[in-house]
A and B are shown apart, each in its own frame.
Chain A
């Protein structure tokens, strides 16, 4: 009996070891290192000492927190737009499309993700630039007389972000909608509900866990995106990740960069926590 339980617990630890090792080596230890780094700053003598100066700098210097607020706000907008576009698409794929087509649609959605993000973004740039494909056709068709620069503005950047994060919204939505009993929708119509009231009262409450997990993923991806804002947003779109990059690479101030990294982690967690509170959900439910 005891031998058996001993063996069992040994087996348990044996299986758990790689997970713990992975977590420890690749996540926890580097983060502790970064945390220590973020809490050190140079004093006037040029020596590294313990200090919260790096964190204070974020709040003291408007460029930093304004950039963060901007990044967070745009990520929220991206999330909302992604949700609004993905919701009907997911509903169509999960509920309307025939079984045969369903797989094809999902593959179509997956297709852009077989190339790297860089290639995807350059694809958009080729389409939208002043000498790009879209301008070429608009000129040919006589709709415009001088080419329009469609890149390097916030709308284009958000479109790019939406494009690169749509899959991560559509997939959880499809899976949650597949579990929706068709007769619930029919019952709603039968009882006098229209498209809007059925969506609002039946489909959205049912899809809530999928919506929340999709939103969290898309929000985090947008917040942590570097390429798309940088390349498509152009000159006016400083993204917070770029600031972290600049601290590490251009200013050689790793301590400041680490502090920014932790602030990003902290503040984004806070935003998600707040979002869950507002929609009266718990993370456990969403993940389960």
Chain B
């Protein structure tokens, strides 16, 4: 009985002592980007109540566009999807870098993101984590799958899966020996190239088993052996590798696609204070490492190495040699009109029989 009273008292005290008791913090992010342990820790430290909504790049933009940037305090779009969207719809507010502890970030990455998300005189984001898209391969069942061309190869017919989204188009373009990013500036040339890519993918439709939409479902298909070659994010491959040594992430010969996911503050965010607090909280080395250990994504935080599990550190060195790191194709900011071109082609591929 005494214990219970003590406990209740402590709870009451802890609430009153928390600076922001009762305030909610609305986070719009990707699945896995806000581990429960970290949320609990953050809530205990600051007193905020964290509400998380899971999404992806496209839906994030659509959600914020629908409300003109209201409803969320912090979003996590990819760095290449910020500037053109911001120019067109003004759904974010400029990042106040004075509120950010820059010492927590890898300087080169922070600067790259600042540069890539600049619109007029402001920048709109700071990096959170990064990774690559490449191939997840079951090397025992699908030997020899080393490049994106495996996705359209007769050899793996019925055992292939990828997302019907823009990264696949871009990857196939690289596999054809072209550089789609170089054509970002000229929509007509870009369209020509993408038409060719679409034709390839339509021709290869009998090869693909399905277009995956849900990461967990893809991993399940790879576990069961239904799918042996897939285009997906590196961390998924690493997760599977921990269970089955035959399955691993492979950086494709024509280059893994490198992405950086960021923090950006929506234009009508109510609780920017909480947003900055969350950024500064999760980028602390021990917290960032906890995230990486769990989700296998690399973070943009410095000083993480000593907190990392050995297996996680190994993942990266196993999949990426010095050369392949240099060969990573980092997404430049997406200019306007590109998405409309891609959207139509993706529809065309899906509709084709």
Contacts and interface: CB of A to CB of B under 8 A. Distances in A.
Interface of A: 46, 61, 63-64, 66-67, 129-131, 149, 151-152, 230-231, 234-236, 238, 242-243, 246-254
A253 B340 contact: yes
A254 B158 CA distance: 35
Contacts, number: 72
Query: Secondary structure at chain A's binding surface: helix, strand, loop or mixed?
Result: helix
Interface of B: 58-59, 61-62, 65, 85, 88, 158, 164-166, 205, 208-211, 213, 221, 224-226, 336, 339-340, 342-344, 346-348, 350-351, 353
A63 B202 CA distance: 13
A231 B290 CA distance: 34
15 contacts: A63-B351, A129-B226, A130-B226, A235-B205, A235-B208, A235-B211, A242-B350, A246-B343, A246-B346, A250-B339, A250-B346, A251-B340, A251-B344, A252-B88, A253-B343
Interface centre among B164, B213, B347 (most CB of A within 10 A): B347
A131 B350 CA distance: 25
B347 A238 contact: yes
Contacts of B58: 249-250
A67 B352 CA distance: 10
Given A129-B226, A149-B209, A235 B343 contact: no
Nearest to B161: A235
Contacts of B85: 252
Query: Secondary structure at chain B's binding surface: helix, strand, loop or mixed?
Result: helix
B224 A131 contact: yes
A152 B211 CA distance: 10
Given A235-B350, A247-B343, 10 more contacts: A46-B336, A63-B351, A149-B209, A152-B210, A235-B205, A242-B350, A250-B339, A252-B62, A252-B65, A253-B340
B62 A249 contact: yes
B77 to A, nearest CB: 13
Contact of A252 (B205, B209, B340): B340
Contacts of A254: 65
Contacts of B210: 151-152, 234-235
A63 B347 contact: yes
Given A131-B225, A235-B211, A251 B350 contact: no
A248 B224 contact: no
Nearest to B347: A63
A253 B340 CA distance: 7
B74 to A, nearest CB: 21
A152 B224 CA distance: 17
Sorted from nearest, which 6 A-B pairs have the closest CB atoms?
A: A251-B343, A131-B224, A238-B350, A238-B351, A249-B58, A234-B210
